[in-house]
Amino acid sequence: MKRERLDKVLANMGLGTRKEVKALVKQKLIEVDGVVATDPGMHVIPEEQTILVEGEPLNYKRWIYVMLNKPPGVISATEDPRHETVVDLLPIEWADKVHPVGRLDIDTEGLLLLTNDGQLSHSLLSPKKKVDKEYYAKIRGQVTQHHVDEFAKGVTLDDGYHTMPAKLEILSSGEESEIKVTIMEGKFHQVKRMFAAFGLEVTYLKRLRMGTLLLDESLELGDFRELTEEELAGLRGE
């Protein structure tokens, strides 16, 4: 286990700035393994040692993995001067640390993973890994077998980029069609642009799955929870 400065551990847990944490130590409000801490720079192993802050145990977690059912109108970013962001929906002790893994458009709902594990983020987003993402969508216009066949070959977007093959499943077809589509990339507005290439408009989009991680349908829009050990193992390919 890695040793870290006490003030850094406490600051990373959202207990204040380094300066504010030093003040807590000066007031003798921090204990490590039953002994009052006197040096904010002392090195601790937070996973193994008992740290009390004003008599309350510190529930330390080095890595955070959060599933969010993203609502529309919220952007997939850590900060924005005009819009509410996905991290604004989280408790402050998580919001200051995590980042969204990939992006969902502002009007797109559904599964979004947030974490401070950069290595996992990279593995999930790397094109080489070909991590698939499944969406449910409503389409203005009739989706047919022709579109299924064309998606399977990849679609040329408005900027000339030809996407990787995608799996398109028709749930209902008519003036408004319902579909599921699975892609292995995350180009800007990709699903919308793939349908736009055929003169079709996506009117509703929701992400259901990323790799092995399924959206917990019991989560209301804007709700979140930590991943289970099984979900995390699946993402890591364990």
Catalytic residue among 80, 96, 105, 107: 105
- Annotation says 105 is catalytic: yes
Of the candidates 69, 84, 58, the residue with the CA atom closest to the CA atom of residue 114: 69
Task: Provide CB contacts within 8 A for 18, sequence distance 6+.
Answer: 7, 8, 11, 40
Given a contact cutoff of 8 angstroms between Cβ atoms, the answer to whether 165 and 152 are in contact is yes
Of the candidates 205, 183, 182, the residue with the CA atom closest to the CA atom of residue 104: 205
Cα–Cα distance list, 201 to 35, 134, 180, 231, 235 (Å): 64, 18, 14, 33, 32
Q: Which residues pair with 207 in a beta bridge?
A: 110, 135
Q: Which residues are catalytic?
A: 105
